[in-house]
Structure 1
Amino acid sequence: MDWRPTACVLCACNCGIEIKLDGRRFERIRGDKAHPSSQGYTCEKPLRLDHYQNGRDRLTHPLRRRPDGSFEQVDWDTAIREVAAGFAAVRDAHGGETIFYYGGGGQGNHLGGSYSGAFMRTLGARHRSNALAQEKTGLFWVADRMLGTITTGDLDHCDVALFVGKNPWQSHGVPRARPTLREISRDPDRSLIVIDPRRTETAELADIHLAVRPGTDAWLLAAMAGVLVQEDLIAHRWLEEHAVESERVIDALRRVPISEYSATAGVEERLVRDAARRIAAARGVALHEDLGVQMSLHSTVTSYLDLLLMVLTGNVGRRGTNNPPILFGPLVTYSHWGRGRDRVSPVVGARVISGLVPTNVIAEEILTDHPRRYRAMLVESANPVHSVADSPRMRDALDALDLLVVIDVAMTETARRADYVLPAPTQFEKWEATFFNLETPDNYFHLRRPVLDPPPDADLLPEPEMYARLCEALGVVPDLAPLREALAEGDRTAFSAAFLGMLADPALAKIASVLLYRSLGPTLPDGAAAAASLWPLAHKLAAAHPESVRRAGIEGEGPQLGEHLFDAILASPSGLVFSKDAPDDGLGRLGTPDKKIHLTIPELVEEIENLGAGPAADPEFPFVLSAGERRAFTANTIFRDPAWRKRDPSGTLRISPADAARLGLTGGAMARVTTRTGSVEVPVEIHDGLQPGHVSLPNGLGLSYPGPDGAPVVTGAAPNELTAAGDRDPYAGTPWHKHVPARVEAVTI
């Protein structure tokens, strides 16, 4: 009982950890050896999670803004009644589609977000966004049109690991990142290929490091794909069996000027050819791309070229390659094959991918006199004032709303602008889970139990309870006696029939999660009411993939299999493997109607054909700033207390030795970084891993946090004070945070 199992909440891996308490403080933290994925591994970042749990800006009571701009405490009955009435008033006056939802839980707390849809659908809200729309939607769009699903790399069984714009040594994002990287790099029969402008910790381990010039990844990848076609290294027989619509893209790649594109990318043609040949010769290649390209120029085209490398060499749907994962919950929703056309945002007309409006257009959708503009916003466990491009404009947009409600655990930069702030327990004070179940061939799910109770002097509600009360305040929750009576019979067979019968009413189907929370929830063991929304997901998964679930050790047939899976989740405090792939099962999960890979995306093929010369330099802003580099002591911004950082406490500007010498900068000196939207002064770190002309600032800094005397202190530079919302990908609207034109000057005193 001294060590309590839970999980890290700092990246998508959500490694299992155990916490030992000293009162309300986290005395010690270690990896949980019983966790089926991380198996006791953890990096250094979660070891200081007490800085999150016991932050000085912790919210403890519902708050309402006074006319003078200050906040006052209110009771929950008042907060729920007024928030529900406020959103209903906007709906009645302007329509539900003018209500916007942002968030859904961040890295670790998705369970609460699974209830938000009940309230939003009841209001008629149609538009939402979150951090995925800053990073992954270009990849989602490409993968949907090619495969009808997403894929993830099987690093455990590949003989070539390909990382594009990704440094898992620091950003993680793959299970047991550092041991896995070491294992691959030390194995003479395996290879590690890294595409990154910087000589990162991962690049240091690589067999081949393609040190691409910042912003030219599309040229490099087009050259690599050109090598595959022009040297006839593609998997012809595999493509004939599993792919269609290949002629146009192969013809375009046949005409790629490999030497010219390699030179544009700043990489020796010899290395480009070596990397392409190694990929073609591999038994299995696992690809992982990340923010380094997903937040840079030509990001959607780059994602397309990444997938082309995999498909042209037959590295999809097999052991050791990229496979469609079996997702426990609907992390990604698709539109192309089911709808045939893309939805767009109401004002800007931006493409809505996987149900998400691009974050870079949110301010434009608000700051207008358009009748369909967003007028009210609910923000849950997110901080768009700090995390979305062009923070000054985002502040103006939120201030222009008729109503802003924020659900969070801390008084964030966004919460300070809200009309109502609703406090939630931390991720360690409530039942929680994540739907980032992207592993292959084994998938795991972790329903996390509370490590400790909320503070005794706080008045908090978990998000499922908030949404249930908000729906009740709108008068849409019916008498649930029939459901409760069915549960009283002792098993869930009668309950299932009664619940499905109730969902025949479309109005009640909108609030299905709340119906479960109020009926099934109280019957779950140890206060696990929030887990009620997992029950239908377990049944849906068991029905769709029964053999995979049974291979994971869950027994049963038909509905019984879903029940046993749900019960196993409730009974597994360190998580469990819920499905196991058989070798080469992945191609059966393609989401295209013909179960084939569709190689040609016409508009992206045109982009490849017309890449032309490299990105044009701006003499006024000669540097490329990477705004938001992940380092050893940076993480997502639930770490608001700057004291958590043992190294680089102020967030240095990393700059190459050549540039530092030219500008007269020394380590620790102050430099001024100026972009088209802002300017900051930061200390300098001379770093030989950067190319001349390339500088970087870390993510996670620039937050306002109470100092020891309670006065707010801002430590480091907030990257989005320097970025522009208009600098975004033309297809997905994702920001170009990794390619910000900048000027760097020495600060003279």
Structure 2
Amino acid sequence: MKHSLLHYYREKQKQSEVENVYETQCPFCSMQCKKKVIEQSFVTRKQYKTEGVDNPVTKGRLCMKGMNAYAHAVHEDRLMHPVRKQPDGSWKEVSWEEALELVRDQFQTLQKQHGTDSIGVYGSASITNEESYLLGKLARVALKTKYIDYNGRFCMSSAATASKAVLGIDRGLTNALADIPKAEVLLLSGTNIASCQPVMMPYLEEAKANGAFIIVIDPRKTETAAIADLHLAVTPGRDAALTNALLASLERQGLVNEAFVKERTEGWDELQAHLQTISLKETADYAGVNVQDIEDAVRIFAGADTGMVLTARGVEQQTDGHMAVRNLLNLVLLTGKIGREGCGYGAVTGQGNGQGGREHGQKADQLPGYRMIDNPEDRKHIAEFWGIPEPELPGRGVSAYEMLEKVKDREIRAMLLVCSNPVVSNPNASFIKDSLQTLDFFVAVDLFISESAQYADLILPAASYLEDEGTMTNLEGRVTLREASKKPPGSSKPDWKIICELAEALGAGAHFPFRSAEDVFNELRHASRGGAADYYGMTYERIRREEGLFWPCPALDHPGTPRLFAEGFARPEGRALLTAVESEAAQTTSKPTETYPLLLTTGRVMAHYLTGVQTRRSTKLAARLYESFIELHPATAEAYAIAEGDLVDVTSEAGAIIVRAQLTPDIRRDTVFVPFHWAEHQNVNKLIPGKLDPVSRMPGYKSTPVTIKRHEPALQPAQT
């Protein structure tokens, strides 16, 4: 009898099972892996599993984050309806009508009192191209404010400004990922691909199997550096100096590709004169790398027929990051390794849409198609396309961090925050928290009540990646289409729809007549036409059929452009620009002091992503690493009387945090490392000062002077 009942209920359960399959892309890093999430519904529960889908970029591979990315999308903490903060600090659900009316009344009242620029818009490199485009249009057409920027400012801005200045175009990689295995030498500067883009590692492994020599520049022997043939453990913040030593050695060994330099570049005479003033020994010592390793690296890199340089945040997130990247571009150009098969430069994008996010108008100085807001022709083109008088198009604003300074100064009185968490991601994090609390009105668009959204007056519930269709541009410049067939829960909505409804509430609905993400993309294509990032030749149907298209793609019969600069550069006369770079940016670079003798560098770990709002809601990911840590050399730990597992106070001029010690010989003795995925007392960005690169406006996350000591818990008063 008991067996029969058990059999009955099992059969009943099988009959009740419903399976839904959602074709999508991973929402995290710039590889944008194709996958499907399988939802199985039973009588009392649902369960999920993820499978990779074959595609030209990742061949069906997924990392642990991609496998578990469904968790935050179905998490019980998801916001289902708009919520408004009450006087006692609690949240109350409100209707969309009430929420939109509140935004309209608050924004219009503040702009009437303080001017159109009293509203700031803070965007994201995790939203789609369509939403990036709409957010820029909302700021400049509906709100008429110049203040818009996005969290991608902290991702690739140094590489972007350097590439545009030197090559004339900023695209993550100048060639396709498929070129990596064809390179005879790879130089990776400040990029830990194994932790940050794990599914990209097979490209490096294939190159190594083909005989490639791999050089890694990093103060830590990371999982990526472990596969290197030569590891240059640079002192944090001295990347420009190290590259100067490489270039000086290149010139002195007579390894400059003189034919390429003469035919394809300008500025060699000035750069050569500069290199001849450099003491190779002194510069190498300052960079923390021995001369023999520098000479070997140069001989191998220059001697190979093909080669690539890949950079990431380690070199870019410096207060001289713009010039540090320009110096590495000098190395690419002086050896002629660009515009050919197996050759090129690439900034390995961090966020999922870090590339596309800045191409269509979220950045303070840019308009759709990578047009520049200060360029009269670009302004005229976009104003006419949008149907507004050119004088009404606002001018250049400021960077993301500087917008929060404007908030503190009361120049910006209200803010729209979309899919970002500045309290955790910005430098000088305690200042950011104080700044947000001074806003007269603060509205956030998010999946959750994040560390930043908790200070909002109103939160609008966004759809997750499973529910939000649109295009993304990966690190190669390949535009992919993320399908989304899952219905948003409750009354949450895709970001593109929220932006359109905000525009309607603000009286600009005629400029936002879209009924689907594809409608938005079709306008974006035309807006970008003729720009550097030309998407005109792309359609959803083409992207589906061809599994992604590389920009520029200027016509419907154009195949796209996997490799840039085969014939010339996007600068006057087709020549790239060589630049003399100082080894030390005295005006911005922080140095160790007697009080703060160690250098802090920050970065990612494999199990988490950005500020952790999404990945910390996956039990499987959180279980892999549930708290932050400080990585330090055993000799350094001994000097400070710190043992493995101790809690450690880490202090800089900007603030202090408490994290747990992890000892490893794979880091310089003068360097400590803390990841940036945690908040509150583990928020490493409390330690980072608000100094910015003078060109890219990038903060210096990678070289902050700090001191450490073993944490001593405060004694509790004795009970009486």
**Interval containing the TM-score (normalised by the shorter chain):** 0.7 to 0.9
CA distance, structure 1, for counterparts of residue 688 and residue 632 of structure 2: 19
The answer on 1:423 being equivalent to 2:461 is yes
| Per-residue deviation, residues 115-168 of structure 1 (Å, max 9, x unmatched) | 223322221111222222123222222222222112525424322211111110
The answer on 1:447 being equivalent to 2:467 is no
Aligned positions of 1:481-560 closer than 5 A: 511=511, 514-515=512-513, 517=514, 521=515, 529-538=516-525
The answer on 1:158 being equivalent to 2:183 is yes
Identify which of 93, 96, 101 aligns with 2:113.
Answer: 93
CA distance, structure 1, for counterparts of residue 242 and residue 696 of structure 2: 21
The answer on 1:211 being equivalent to 2:233 is yes
Aligned positions of 1:665-684 closer than 5 A: 665-684=642-661
Give the aligned partner of residue 463 of structure 1.
Answer: 495
Contact 1:670–1:684, Cα closer than 8 Å, also in 2: yes
Give the aligned partner of residue 598 of structure 1.
Answer: 577
CA distance, structure 1, for counterparts of residue 483 and residue 622 of structure 2: 27
| Per-residue deviation, residues 675-707 of structure 1 (Å, max 9, x unmatched) | 22222222211112111121111121227xxxx
Contact 2:183–2:308, Cα closer than 8 Å, also in 1: yes
Specify the SS of the correspondent of 2:427.
coil
Cα drift, residue 469 of structure 1: 2.0
Specify the SS of the correspondent of 2:336.
coil
Judging changes above 3 Å, is the alpha-carbon distance between structure 1 residues 405 and 542 closer, same or farther for their aligned structure 2 residues? Answer: closer
Give the aligned partner of residue 349 of structure 1.
Answer: none
Give the aligned partner of residue 626 of structure 1.
Answer: 601
Contact 1:301–1:608, Cα closer than 8 Å, also in 2: no
Contact 1:84–1:474, Cα closer than 8 Å, also in 2: yes
Give the aligned partner of residue 312 of structure 1.
Answer: 334
Judging changes above 3 Å, is the alpha-carbon distance between structure 1 residues 584 and 460 closer, same or farther for their aligned structure 2 residues? Answer: closer
Supply the AA of the counterpart residue of 1:180.
Answer: Y
Specify the SS of the correspondent of 1:389.
coil
Contact 2:31–2:200, Cα closer than 8 Å, also in 1: no
Query: More displaced, 375-384 or 249-258?
Result: 249-258
| Per-residue deviation, residues 337-358 of structure 1 (Å, max 9, x unmatched) | 94799xxxxxxxxxxxx96733
Contact 1:91–1:124, Cα closer than 8 Å, also in 2: no
The answer on 1:586 being equivalent to 2:568 is no
Identify which of 67, 71, 96 aligns with 1:76.
Answer: 96
Judging changes above 3 Å, is the alpha-carbon distance between structure 1 residues 576 and 668 closer, same or farther for their aligned structure 2 residues? Answer: same
Specify the SS of the correspondent of 2:285.
helix
Give the aligned partner of residue 362 of structure 1.
Answer: 403
Give the aligned partner of residue 696 of structure 2.
Answer: 732
Judging changes above 3 Å, is the alpha-carbon distance between structure 1 residues 589 and 377 closer, same or farther for their aligned structure 2 residues? Answer: farther
Give the aligned partner of residue 119 of structure 1.
Answer: 138
Give the aligned partner of residue 15 of structure 2.
Answer: none
CA distance, structure 1, for counterparts of residue 573 and residue 375 of structure 2: 13
| Per-residue deviation, residues 246-305 of structure 1 (Å, max 9, x unmatched) | 221221012211111111112110110111122212222211111112123532221111
Judging changes above 3 Å, is the alpha-carbon distance between structure 1 residues 323 and 717 closer, same or farther for their aligned structure 2 residues? Answer: closer
Give the aligned partner of residue 491 of structure 1.
Answer: none
Cα drift, residue 306 of structure 1: 0.9
CA distance, structure 2, for counterparts of residue 81 and residue 303 of structure 1: 46
| Per-residue deviation, residues 34-86 of structure 1 (Å, max 9, x unmatched) | x2211111222211113311334311111122233332211111111221222
CA distance, structure 2, for counterparts of residue 477 and residue 635 of structure 1: 35
Cα drift, residue 612 of structure 1: 12
Give the aligned partner of residue 177 of structure 1.
Answer: 200
Contact 2:236–2:671, Cα closer than 8 Å, also in 1: yes
Aligned positions of 1:311-390 closer than 5 A: 311-322=333-344, 330=359, 333=370, 335=372, 338=375, 357-368=398-409, 373-390=411-428
Aligned positions of 1:468-479 closer than 5 A: 468-478=500-510
Contact 1:633–1:648, Cα closer than 8 Å, also in 2: yes
Supply the AA of the counterpart residue of 1:368.
Answer: D
Cα drift, residue 3 of structure 1: 4.3
| Per-residue deviation, residues 441-469 of structure 1 (Å, max 9, x unmatched) | xx5332222242223xx221222222222
Give the aligned partner of residue 186 of structure 1.
Answer: 209
Specify the SS of the correspondent of 2:574.
coil
Identify which of 391, 398, 401 aligns with 2:429.
Answer: 391
CA distance, structure 2, for counterparts of residue 542 and residue 124 of structure 1: 23
Identify which of 40, 54, 65 aligns with 1:22.
Answer: 40
Aligned positions of 1:168-317 closer than 5 A: 168-172=193-197, 176-188=199-211, 190-317=212-339
Identify which of 12, 15, 21 aligns with 2:30.
Answer: 12
Query: More displaced, 531-540 or 7-16?
Result: 531-540
| Per-residue deviation, residues 472-527 of structure 1 (Å, max 9, x unmatched) | 2233334xxxxxxxxxxxxxxxxxxxxxxxxxxxxxxxx3xx23x1xxx3xxxxxx
Identify which of 100, 103, 116 aligns with 2:123.
Answer: 103
Cα drift, residue 587 of structure 1: 4.3
Judging changes above 3 Å, is the alpha-carbon distance between structure 1 residues 100 and 297 closer, same or farther for their aligned structure 2 residues? Answer: closer
CA distance, structure 1, for counterparts of residue 625 and residue 702 of structure 2: 20
Judging changes above 3 Å, is the alpha-carbon distance between structure 1 residues 295 and 324 closer, same or farther for their aligned structure 2 residues? Answer: closer
Identity, in percent, stands at 24
The answer on 1:131 being equivalent to 2:106 is no
Give the aligned partner of residue 67 of structure 1.
Answer: 87
Specify the SS of the correspondent of 2:623.
coil
Cα drift, residue 186 of structure 1: 2.6
Cα drift, residue 589 of structure 1: 6.8
Identify which of 661, 667, 673 aligns with 2:638.
Answer: 661
CA distance, structure 2, for counterparts of residue 612 and residue 97 of structure 1: 30
Identify which of 406, 412, 428 aligns with 2:450.
Answer: 412
CA distance, structure 2, for counterparts of residue 67 and residue 582 of structure 1: 55
CA distance, structure 2, for counterparts of residue 74 and residue 466 of structure 1: 15
CA distance, structure 1, for counterparts of residue 288 and residue 662 of structure 2: 24
Judging changes above 3 Å, is the alpha-carbon distance between structure 1 residues 477 and 729 closer, same or farther for their aligned structure 2 residues? Answer: closer
Specify the SS of the correspondent of 1:684.
strand
Specify the SS of the correspondent of 1:668.
coil
CA distance, structure 2, for counterparts of residue 585 and residue 49 of structure 1: 33
Give the aligned partner of residue 719 of structure 1.
Answer: 684
Query: More displaced, 147-156 or 306-315?
Result: 147-156
Specify the SS of the correspondent of 2:615.
coil
Identify which of 596, 606, 609 aligns with 1:635.
Answer: 609
Specify the SS of the correspondent of 1:607.
coil
CA distance, structure 2, for counterparts of residue 729 and residue 464 of structure 1: 32
Specify the SS of the correspondent of 1:288.
strand
TM-score between both structures, scaled by the size of structure 2: 0.83
Give the aligned partner of residue 7 of structure 2.
Answer: none
Specify the SS of the correspondent of 2:101.
helix
CA distance, structure 1, for counterparts of residue 68 and residue 466 of structure 2: 14
Judging changes above 3 Å, is the alpha-carbon distance between structure 1 residues 248 and 465 closer, same or farther for their aligned structure 2 residues? Answer: same
Contact 1:406–1:422, Cα closer than 8 Å, also in 2: yes
Supply the AA of the counterpart residue of 2:197.
Answer: H
Contact 1:32–1:40, Cα closer than 8 Å, also in 2: yes
Contact 1:32–1:39, Cα closer than 8 Å, also in 2: yes
Contact 1:238–1:314, Cα closer than 8 Å, also in 2: yes
Contact 2:590–2:705, Cα closer than 8 Å, also in 1: no
Contact 1:133–1:356, Cα closer than 8 Å, also in 2: no
- 5+ residue gaps, structure 2, are 1-18, 348-354, 361-365, 379-394, 554-558, 714-720
